[in-house]
Amino acid sequence: MPEGPEIKLAADQIAAVLEQQRVREVFFEQPRLAHYATELEGQKVLDVSPRGKALLISFDNNLTLYSHNQLYGVWHLCDYGQTIDTKRTLRVALHTEHHSALLFSASSIEVLDPAALADHPFLNRIGPDVLDPQLNWRDVAQRLLTPTFRRRSLASLYLDQGFLAGVGNYLRSEILFDAGMSPMLKPAQLSAGAIGALARSTLNISRRAYATAGVTNPARRARRLEREGADYEAYRFMVFGRDGLPCYGCSSNIVKIVMASRRLYYCSNCQVEPNDQ
């Protein structure tokens, strides 16, 4: 499943062809949405933003197109007039003068007015987007310490989209390694300084992955590994997928475990347990 950085990079590509453009033609495959086509035709797209695994496309008549790709949905971009060779069902088409943004297979599609947007059950359930530029480390620190989250293990918290949207399985391992914290720890067991460090790692590693299209290793290390012949998968991560290989911090072997039903990688030497502190 794509995580926040991959989702935001895909949204950026859609934004590049739609934002500030007027949609000339709109198509909805689902009959319940068909009447919105005429309401949206001629409107300008103001913003394209991911919210967790959903995408919001807002128009200047205050309507917002909400889509959630679930497992199968996929956006394709092409020049206006081109067709995409696929067996998938076309659900939504937004055509500007020069481009088309085509959504295939997704079934969770809605057109929302401001009140429906504010009341949307999925959007209300998820936490702030980890790649929202407005989010700062103090917000994350505060969130870690709220009663809802403070007694949960970091391993479970860092997969909960209600805590922070966009953090997924590889980011969980990479953030906890960067912060030097065991996945078994709970926020309630951490000092104020450690909470701050974890909050900063959360944003730093997520933003790094977005800026580098998925590489969480520090740039110098990634470049050195690449020079030494490592391929993308081998230089990409600090710990994720590196079980049995030496830790970049201490040379101990990286360990793979399953926590909250997903694989997690960590260094038991660099990532301290509650009773080590």
Asked if residue 250 binds Zn ion (CB under 5 A), the reply is yes
Nearer to Zn ion, 75 or 237 (CB): 237
Task: Report, in Å, the least distance between residue 20 CB and Zn ion.
Answer: 47
262 in active site: yes
Tell me the C-alpha to C-alpha distance, in Å, between residue 45 and each of 131, 134, 224.
21, 21, 42
- Exposed, middle or buried: residue 28 (CB in 10 Å: 0-12, 13-18, 19+)? buried
Work out the number of other CB atoms within 10 angstroms of the CB of residue 84. Answer: 13
Q: ∠ CA(215), CA(218), CA(220), 5° rounding?
A: 115
Asked if residue 213 binds Zn ion (CB under 5 A), the reply is no
- DSSP for 185-245 reads --GGGS-HHHHHHHHHHHHHHHHHHHHTTS--S-HHHHHHHHHTT--HHHHH-SSTT-TTS
Nearer to Zn ion, 59 or 248 (CB): 248
Q: 181 — phi, psi (to 5°)?
A: -125, 135
Task: Report, in Å, the least distance between residue 215 CB and Zn ion.
Answer: 19
Nearer to Zn ion, 146 or 251 (CB): 251
Nearer to Zn ion, 55 or 270 (CB): 270
Q: Which member of 8, 53, 172, 236 is catalytic?
A: 53
274 in active site: no
Asked if residue 157 binds Zn ion (CB under 5 A), the reply is no
Asked if residue 176 binds Zn ion (CB under 5 A), the reply is no
- Counting residues that bind Zn ion (by CB under 5 A) gives 7
5 in active site: no
Given the rule CB under 5 A, which residues bind Zn ion? 247, 249-250, 252, 267, 269-270
Active-site residue numbers?
2-3, 53, 262
